[in-house]
C-alpha cells in the first residue's frame, strides 16, 4: 500500500488570530571532492544509449495502466468533492481562525503572522524505519488532538554540507511544510507550488526554503518537501528489493498528500506546479517520465539542470552498490548482505557513502522497472512525457560554485599553504585536460586565460557552458516541440553569497543556487539590496504567474516570449536598466563551439 493520504476536512477551528543533452563525458568526476559541498549539474551518472524500440512498447503498456488508475482515482475524488458541496473553491481559510487546518490524518496548528501562515513538519508518510527502510512510503498514522506545526521535522539522514544544509542521522524525516497567504482573493482556491530541494541527492531539507516570498508576492500556496537521501533513498540491490528510487517515491507520496489535503490550506489540487533546482530539477525530470506521477502536477519548473543526461540503469546502480556494501563492512557477512545492511545505523550508512564522487557508489535516480521504465532523457527527446507547460533555465555563472567548493575544501592548496587557495594556471590546464582529453587545447583556445580575471573564472566559464548552458538549451528545445516552454537565465552577477562562507579568491557572480534567495525566504545568504529586492519581486511574479496560468506573462512585468528552437528566446533576469529582457544565450555561452566538438 502506498502513502495515499486520506482526504482532508476543510473546516478550521475558529479563535482569535495571533501573530519559507548533457554529453556522456563526466568532467566533474575528477573534482569529486568539490561535490561534497557544492551540488553539481546532476549529470554524474553513467550514460547509456536509449533502447528505443523496447522502451516504447513498455512505455505504452505502463501509460495505459497509469491512465486507468489515475482516471479511477480522479473519478472518486470528483465524486467526493461534489458530495461535500464543492469544497475546493469554498474551503474555509485557516487564517480566519487560529491557524488550524484539518488534514486527513488530523488537525495541525501552524503559525499566523501579519502576511502569511506557515505549517511546518507535517508528516506526509509513515517514518521509513525498521521494516520500512528501503520500502515504498506508507501512509502516515492518524493522530488525536491538534498537532503542533510550528517547528520543522527532522531532515533526512545526511552529512554536513553547504550552509543551506543540516547534518542529520534521522530516518524519521518524511515531513513537508506549507506556506499560505493570509487571504484568498475572491475566495478562490490558490495554485500550489511544490518545491523539491537540491543537494545531489545526498543533502538538503525542505524547511530551508521559506515559502513567504512567493506565497505573499504571488498569491500561491507553497509546499516544501523532505525526501530520503543518499544510501537510504537510492540504494539499488536485488537482495534489498524495492525500486531503488525510494526518494522519488517519497516525492510522489508528497504529491498525493497535496492532492488529498491541500484544499484545507486554501490550495487547488487541480493546479499544482512541481518545481525543483539542481537535483530537484532532475527529480522533476523523472516525474515527467514516471507513469505513477501522471496527474499529480500540472506545470513544471526546472532550475539549473536539464533532462538530457541519461540515468544509470538498475544493473549499473546495483554494480556500483558493491562499493557501499564494502565500505560499510557487509561484503563478507555470513548472515547475508541485506540483513547486514539493515543492521547498520543511518549514521554508519551515510558516513560509508561519503560525499558525491568519493566512491563508485552514487546516489540518484535509476532507470528501469515499473517506477521509471523509460529514462527521462529518452522520454523528453521522443515526446513520451507528461505534457505540461515548462519553465526552465540556468544561472549565468553556474560552475563558480563548484570552483568555490574546491577552495573551501582546500583541494587546491599546496602542502602547508593556508586557505583560501586560488586555482592556479597549471591546475586550470589540468582540470581541462582531465575533462576534455584530446579536445582540451580547443577549449583552452576558446576560453583563454587572458580573457578572464582569474583561472577560476576561465574554468568556470568553460564548464558552465559545457555542463549547464548547452544541455539546458537543448532540453528546452526538446520540450518546446510538444508543450509551451519558457527559458530564462538568472544573470545578477552581484548576487548575495553565503554569510558563513570563508573569503573567496574570485567574484562568485551568478553562481549555482544564486537565484534561490530571490525566490525564497532564507537565512543563509546576505541580504538583498534594494535593486535586488525589485528583481526578487520580478522573479516571484514570473514564477507564480506561471503557476497560475502556465505562462509567466502578466501586466506589470516585462514581456517574456515563449521559447522555440528557431528563435531560441531566453529571458535574462538581472538588476539595472534593461536587466530583464532578451539575451543572446547561444552566443554568450558558445553553444555552436560545443556542438562542433565530437561527443
| Catalytic residue numbers, as ranges | 278, 398, 512
- Contacts of residue 343, defined as CB under 8 A and 6 or more positions apart, other chains included, come to none
**Exposed/middle/buried for 131, CB within 10 Å: 0-12, 13-18, 19+?**
exposed
437-463: burial string, b at 16+ Cβ within 10 Å, e else: eeebeebbebbeeeebebbbbbbbbbb
CA-nearest of 197, 196, 193 to 214 is 193
The C-alpha atoms of residue 594 and residue 571 are separated, in whole angstroms, by 21
For residue 192, the cross-strand partners are: 221, 272
In degrees and rounded to multiples of 5, residue 537 shows phi and psi of -65, -35
Residue 525: beta bridge partners? Answer: 498
E-strand spans in 100-257? 100-103, 106-109, 111-112, 117-123, 147-148, 175-180, 190-196, 221-225
Q: Which SS3 state, helix, strand or coil, does residue 469 take?
A: helix
The bridge status of strand 190-196 relative to strand 267-277 is parallel
Cα 33 to its chain centre, rounded Å, is 21
Cα radius of gyration rounded to whole Å, the chain: 23
CA distances from 355 to 208, 262, 350 (A): 20, 35, 9
φ, ψ (nearest 5 deg) of residue 139 = -60, 145
Pairwise CA distance, residues 395 & 401, whole Å: 11
Rounded CA separation 573/17 (Å): 38
Q: Contact, 586 vs 472, CB < 8 A? A: no
SS3 277: strand
Query: Which of these, 533, 450, 539, 461, lies nearest to 496 by C-alpha position?
Result: 533
* DSSP 8-state symbol, 302: E
The CA-based angle 182-184-188, given to 5 degrees, is 160
Amino acid at each position: 500500500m502506498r502513502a495515499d493520504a486520506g482526504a482532508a476536512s476543510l473546516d478550521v477551528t475558529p479563535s482569535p488570530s495571533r501573530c519559507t543533452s548533457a554529453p556522456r563525458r563526466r568532467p566533474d568526476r575528477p573534482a569529486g571532492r568539490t561535490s561534497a559541498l557544492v551540488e553539481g549539474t546532476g549529470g554524474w551518472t553513467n550514460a547509456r544509449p536509449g533502447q528505443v524500440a523496447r522502451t516504447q512498447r513498455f512505455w505504452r503498456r505502463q501509460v495505459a495502466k497509469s491512465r486507468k488508475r489515475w482516471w479511477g482515482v480522479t473519478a472518486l475524488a470528483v465524486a467526493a468533492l461534489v458530495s461535500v458541496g464543492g469544497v475546493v473553491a469554498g474551503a474555509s481559510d485557516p487564517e480566519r481562525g487560529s491557524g488550524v487546518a484539518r488534514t486527513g490524518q488530523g488537525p495541525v496548528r501552524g503559525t499566523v503572522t501579519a502576511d502569511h501562515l506557515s505549517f511546518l513538519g507535517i508528516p506526509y508518510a509513515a517514518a521509513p524505519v525498521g521494516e520500512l527502510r528501503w520500502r515504498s512510503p506508507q501512509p502516515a498514522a492518524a493522530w488525536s488532538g491538534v498537532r503542533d506545526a510550528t517547528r520543522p521535522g527532522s531532515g533526512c539522514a545526511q552529512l554536513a554540507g553547504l550552509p543551506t544544509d543540516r547534518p542529520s542521522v534521522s530516518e524519521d524525516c518524511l515531513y513537508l511544510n506549507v506556506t499560505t497567504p493570509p487571504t484568498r482573493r475572491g475566495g478562490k482556491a490558490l495554485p500550489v507550488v511544490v518545491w523539491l530541494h537540491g543537494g545531489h541527492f545526498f543533502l538538503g531539507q525542505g524547511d530551508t526554503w521559506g515559502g513567504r516570498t512567493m506565497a505573499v508576492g504571488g498569491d500561491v500556496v507553497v509546499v516544501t518537501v523532505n525526501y530520503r537521501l543518499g544510501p537510504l533513498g537510492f540504494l539499488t540491490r536485488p537482495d534489498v528489493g524495492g525500486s531503488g528510487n525510494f526518494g522519488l517515491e517519497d516525492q510522489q507520496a508528497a504529491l498525493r498528500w497535496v492532492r488529498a489535503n491541500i484544499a484545507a490550506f486554501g490550495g487547488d489540487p487541480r493546479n499544482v506546479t512541481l518545481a525543483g533546482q539542481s537535483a530537484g530539477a532532475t527529480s522533476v525530470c523523472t516525474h515527467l517520465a514516471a507513469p505513477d506521477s501522471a496527474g499529480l502536477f500540472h506545470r513544471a519548473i526546472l532550475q539549473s539542470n536539464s533532462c538530457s543526461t541519461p540515468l544509470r540503469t538498475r544493473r549499473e546502480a546495483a554494480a556500483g552498490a558493491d562499493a557501499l556494501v564494502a565500505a560499510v563492512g557487509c561484503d563478507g557477512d555470513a548472515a547475508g548482505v541485506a540483513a547486514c545492511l539493515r543492521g547498520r545505523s543511518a549514521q554508519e550508512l551515510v558516513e560509508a557513502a561519503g560525499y558525491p564522487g568519493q566512491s563508485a557508489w552514487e546516489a540518484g535516480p535509476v532507470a528501469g522497472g515499473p517506477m521509471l521504465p523509460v529514462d527521462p532523457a529518452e522520454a523528453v527527446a521522443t515526446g513520451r512525457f507528461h505534457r505540461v507547460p515548462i519553465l526552465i533555465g540556468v544561472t549565468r555563472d553556474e560552475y563558480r560554485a563548484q570552483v568555490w567548493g574546491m577552495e573551501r575544501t582546500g583541494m587546491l592548496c599546496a602542502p602547508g599553504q593556508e586557505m583560501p587557495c586560488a586555482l592556479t594556471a597549471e591546475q586550470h590546464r589540468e582540470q581541462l585536460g582531465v575533462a576534455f582529453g584530446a579536445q582540451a587545447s580547443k577549449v583552452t583556445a576558446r576560453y583563454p586565460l587572458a580573457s578572464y580575471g582569474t583561472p577560476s573564472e576561465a574554468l568556470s566559464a568553460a564548464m558552465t557552458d559545457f555542463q549547464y548552458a548547452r544541455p539546458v538549451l537543448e532540453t528546452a528545445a526538446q520540450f518546446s516541440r510538444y508543450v509551451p516552454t519558457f527559458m530564462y537565465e538568472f544573470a545578477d552577477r552581484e548576487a548575495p553569497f553565503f554569510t558563513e562562507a570563508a573569503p573567496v579568491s574570485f567574484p562568485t557572480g551568478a553562481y549555482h543556487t544564486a537565484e534561490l534567495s530571490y525566490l525564497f525566504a532564507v537565512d543563509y545568504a546576505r541580504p538583498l539590496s534594494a535593486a535586488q529586492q525589485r528583481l526578487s519581486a520580478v522573479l516571484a511574479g514570473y514564477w507564480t504567474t506561471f503557476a497560475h496560468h502556465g505562462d509567466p506573462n502578466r501586466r506589470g512585468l516585462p514581456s517574456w516570449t515563449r521559447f522555440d528552437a528557431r528563435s531560441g528566446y531566453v529571458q535574462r533576469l538581472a538588476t539595472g536598466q534593461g536587466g530583464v529582457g532578451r539575451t543572446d544565450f547561444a552566443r554568450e555561452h558558445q553553444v555552436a563551439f560545443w556542438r562542433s566538438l565530437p561527443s
